Chains A and B, each alone.
Chain A
Amino acid sequence: MVHECHDPIIRLRGISKSFKGVTVLDRLDLDIERCKTLVVIGRSGCGKSVLLKHITGLLQPDEGTIYFEDNDITQLSRRKIFEMRMRFGMLFQGAALFDSMTVGENVGLPLAKHTDLGEEEIRRTVCEKLRLVGLTGIYDTYPAELSGGMKKRVGLARAVVMNPDVVLYDEPTTGLDPIMSDVINELIRTLENQLDITSVVVTHDIGSAYKVGDRIAMLHGGRIIFSGTPEETRNTDDAIVKQFIEGSAEGPIKAV
């Protein structure tokens, strides 16, 4: 089947999720457009990472359906989920590099496990992806020897090494200095343009959201309460969104 750009590649319908009686997602609906970058903003702990884990099948919703193209992933077997994940890449908040492996082994692991490529070819592909994220000469380095920004970039190289259709970013700029944050933002844009991928970024860094997003959606109270272009977000009259983007303690969102 040929898919048009602008078709939703992922659709979430009526997703609810509670942990120990606390509702995190409450009948949430969301469409993610193909070949675009969607940024989901919201306060820390509002369920953004939980939302990402639902999209990848790492968490199952209590209610609702999630479609990846035409497949309801809440109904897929574990094997089918793994097949689907081959088309996904994910950058975790703390990069989640395997600390018993070198940078090269980390980035090359998906290739070693899922392709017939030889050692030399894997090394070449890994070096190419590391160059794409601006890293050279660290193939044999262990993650413990890298800075936070370098770890994120290695995590990004691992996320795109299989040339995925969708890349998910969990707080890509959290904990980084402003310059490194901008480097990561630039990388997200570059990867989207060069590899033609769909990106979903969850962040509470509004500057990053404006920079990388084609659309921005705000998650609040377990639901998407706003969705629009960066321009529409800037000019919104919605009191909750306005308070969040202005970073004000006064407003409908109770700070404490």
Chain B
Amino acid sequence: MGLLAMFGRFFLEFVEEIGGIAILCWRLLQALPRLFRNFRNTLFQMEKIGLGSIPLVVVTSLFVGAVTAIQAAYQFHGYIPLQYVGAVVGKAVTLELGPVLTALVVGGRVSAAIAAELGTMKVTEQIDAMEMIAIDPVEYLVLPRMVAATIMLPVLTIFADLLAIIGGMVVSRISMGVGFAMFGNGLQLLFRYQDVVGGLMKTLVFGFIIALMGCYNGFATRGGAEGVGISTMRAVVSSCLLILVSNYLLATFIFRILFAPE
């Protein structure tokens, strides 16, 4: 009976969470036509989410590109000529590593920041105060963050893809003696523009997930400082998990249906 009750409680909480997220999405959709009322706020969030994440993205992508080149060369050893390193780095970065790792590192930073900020506002009654002066918190707080994250993640990913390729290129030259021209030839060899477009399409969804998890968990904060800590942790964990799960579903749709090789 104890086990059954525990399962029941878990199931109810799960349904409650899904319901809460669905209600937030519905209110977001209703607020969308009023986006331009808070356009300055949206631009501010774009700067905070986009520009603020650049140092993190620079370091992550340079090293991801570098390690991809090293690993590719290690696996090619004795079987495949090193001129194909560029092809592998290009494919791996544009299809998976660029979009997913950018989403994970930016997601950790951004969803935590959003959840902590909105969570603190919730427990100090600032959200209620906003409601009391007849300002819709979804329109004023959530919508600008959602739009900013959804737009800025693809932008950051373009940046990350380029930097990762540069990282791979430099490491190939320094440690494997693969010249820039040879790396570039390899890169062009298997390049399909659909790889880049498909990767960026995924990041639109990832950006939405990151902001949604930050906002939902921030709004759901209860209690005091401990509650803010729990919400922040839940925002990071849920956004990372949802990014990984949705990545599989999106990759299936985009690369097996939409851009399926002929």
Q: Do A and B come from one complex?
A: yes
Asked if residues A113 and B134 are in contact (CB atoms below 8 Å), the reply is: yes
Asked if residues B128 and A109 are in contact (CB atoms below 8 Å), the reply is: no
In the bound complex, how far is the Cα of B126 from the Cα of A93, in angstroms?
11
A90 CB-CB contact with B under 8 Å: yes
Query: Which of A78-86, A181-189, A199-207, A230-238 participates in binding chain B?
Result: A78-86
Asked if residues B134 and A110 are in contact (CB atoms below 8 Å), the reply is: yes
Interface residues of B (CB under 8 A from A): 121, 124-126, 128-136
Contacts of A83 in B (CB 8 A): 134
Asked if residues A85 and B129 are in contact (CB atoms below 8 Å), the reply is: no
In the bound complex, how far is the Cα of B249 from the Cα of A137, in angstroms?
57
Contacts of B126 in A (CB 8 A): 96-99
Asked if residues B132 and A58 are in contact (CB atoms below 8 Å), the reply is: yes
In the bound complex, how far is the Cα of B136 from the Cα of A82, in angstroms?
8
A60 CB-CB contact with B under 8 Å: no
Q: Which residue of B lies closest to A94 (CB)?
A: B124
Nearest-Cβ distance from residue A32 to partner chain B, whole angstroms: 17
In the bound complex, how far is the Cα of B131 from the Cα of A83, in angstroms?
11
Contacts of B135 in A (CB 8 A): 109-110, 113
Nearest-Cβ distance from residue A30 to partner chain B, whole angstroms: 20
Pick the residue among A78, A82, A96, A114 that contacts B125 (CB under 8 A): A96
In the bound complex, how far is the Cα of B125 from the Cα of A94, in angstroms?
8
Asked if residues B129 and A98 are in contact (CB atoms below 8 Å), the reply is: yes
Asked if residues B128 and A58 are in contact (CB atoms below 8 Å), the reply is: yes
Asked if residues B125 and A88 are in contact (CB atoms below 8 Å), the reply is: no
- Residues 60-118 of A contacting B (Cβ, < 8 Å): 78, 82-83, 85-86, 88-90, 92-94, 96-99, 109-110, 113-114
In the bound complex, how far is the Cα of B135 from the Cα of A97, in angstroms?
14
Pick the residue among A53, A89, A96, A110 that contacts B124 (CB under 8 A): A96
Contacts of A85 in B (CB 8 A): 131-134
A86 touching B129 in the complex, CB below 8 Å, given contacts A94-B124, A96-B124: no
17 contacts between A and B (CB under 8 A): A56-B132, A78-B136, A82-B136, A83-B134, A85-B132, A86-B134, A92-B125, A96-B129, A97-B129, A98-B126, A98-B129, A109-B133, A110-B133, A113-B134, A114-B133, A114-B134, A158-B129
Asked if residues A92 and B129 are in contact (CB atoms below 8 Å), the reply is: yes
Inter-chain contact total with CB atoms closer than 8 Å:
51
Nearest-Cβ distance from residue A84 to partner chain B, whole angstroms: 9
Number of residues of chain A lying within 8 A (CB) of chain B: 24
Asked if residues B136 and A90 are in contact (CB atoms below 8 Å), the reply is: no
Asked if residues A53 and B129 are in contact (CB atoms below 8 Å), the reply is: no
Asked if residues A90 and B132 are in contact (CB atoms below 8 Å), the reply is: yes
Pick the residue among B121, B128, B136 that contacts A92 (CB under 8 A): B128
Q: Which residue of A lies closest to B136 (CB)?
A: A82
Nearest-Cβ distance from residue B158 to partner chain A, whole angstroms: 30
Q: Which residue of A lies closest to B129 (CB)?
A: A96
Asked if residues A113 and B124 are in contact (CB atoms below 8 Å), the reply is: no
In the bound complex, how far is the Cα of B131 from the Cα of A109, in angstroms?
12
Asked if residues A88 and B132 are in contact (CB atoms below 8 Å), the reply is: yes
Asked if residues B131 and A58 are in contact (CB atoms below 8 Å), the reply is: yes
Contacts of A99 in B (CB 8 A): 124, 126
Contacts of B134 in A (CB 8 A): 82-83, 85-86, 110, 113-114
Closest 5 CB pairs of A and B: A96-B129, A96-B125, A82-B134, A110-B133, A85-B134
Contacts of A158 in B (CB 8 A): 129, 133
Contacts of A110 in B (CB 8 A): 133-135
Contacts of A86 in B (CB 8 A): 134
In the bound complex, how far is the Cα of B230 from the Cα of A66, in angstroms?
35
In the bound complex, how far is the Cα of B124 from the Cα of A94, in angstroms?
7
In the bound complex, how far is the Cα of B141 from the Cα of A98, in angstroms?
12
Nearest-Cβ distance from residue B117 to partner chain A, whole angstroms: 8
In the bound complex, how far is the Cα of B136 from the Cα of A53, in angstroms?
16
In the bound complex, how far is the Cα of B133 from the Cα of A82, in angstroms?
8
Q: A83-B134, A98-B130, A158-B129 are in contact. List 12 more A-B contacts (CB 8 A).
A: A58-B131, A85-B132, A88-B132, A89-B132, A92-B128, A93-B125, A96-B124, A98-B121, A109-B133, A109-B135, A110-B133, A110-B135
In the bound complex, how far is the Cα of B124 from the Cα of A88, in angstroms?
20
Contacts of A162 in B (CB 8 A): 133
Nearest-Cβ distance from residue B218 to partner chain A, whole angstroms: 14
Contacts of A113 in B (CB 8 A): 133-135
Contacts of A53 in B (CB 8 A): 128
Q: Which residue of B lies closest to A162 (CB)?
A: B133
Nearest-Cβ distance from residue B113 to partner chain A, whole angstroms: 13
In the bound complex, how far is the Cα of B132 from the Cα of A90, in angstroms?
7
In the bound complex, how far is the Cα of B131 from the Cα of A78, in angstroms?
10
